[in-house]
Amino acid sequence: MKNGQKQLNWSQANETRLVTKCRYIIEVINRIFKQQFEALKETQNSMLSHIFDDYRIAASLINGFFSERISDKEDVEEIAQNMKKKLKLRNDMEKYFELRLTSSQNLFTKIEEYYQLERAFGYLFKHFSANEDYEFLVSNNLENDE
């Protein structure tokens, strides 16, 4: 994050989620290697000549006997395609939170009187019949007088 930035923007957040998913899978496999194969816990210089073969054997054993720990194994291609598609998908919630963080006043005014409700209904009807994109925010906070 840049200096003073408190939150990632939508593209940074999407990239972070993608990397996190990839790293999680790698960490699960590494943990299985280290838990199940005592010889792979620490790599010493004397092991370097055969370590690649050791990992290949361990990996084939993991694929054969530990597949239940890797739940996404059957859907790998589909999951990867969906993640790549969603990587460039913009999250519009960012705009809402930016507005909320920068606004010092409450976005929702309390409507109490009957004529205010009639005006609100007319306002909504006018905007819905315009066939344009409008964003309506609804507050569920009925108890506070804010």
pLDDT tens per residue across span 20-76:
777 777 888 788 888 888 777 777 788 788 888 888 888 888 878 776 666 666 777
pLDDT of residue 143 exceeding 50, the answer is yes
Read off the pLDDT of residues 83-135 as tens digits, 9 standing for 90 and up. Answer: 888 877 777 766 666 666 555 455 556 666 666 667 777 777 777 777 777 77
Distance of alpha carbon 58 from alpha carbon 37, whole angstroms = 7
CA angle at 63 for the pair 87 and 46, rounded to the nearest 5°: 100
pLDDT at 107: 57
pLDDT of residue 146 exceeding 50, the answer is no
Residue 59 Ramachandran class (φ > 0 left, ψ -120 to 50 alpha, else beta): alpha
Contacts of 9 (CB under 8 A, 6+ apart): 94
C-alpha distance across the termini of the chain, in Å:
34
CA angle at 79 for the pair 74 and 81, rounded to the nearest 5°: 125
Distance of alpha carbon 119 from alpha carbon 141, whole angstroms = 20
The amino acid present at 136, given as its one-letter code, is F
Q: pTM to 2 decimals?
A: 0.41
Read off the pLDDT of residues 3-13 as tens digits, 9 standing for 90 and up. Answer: 777 777 777 88
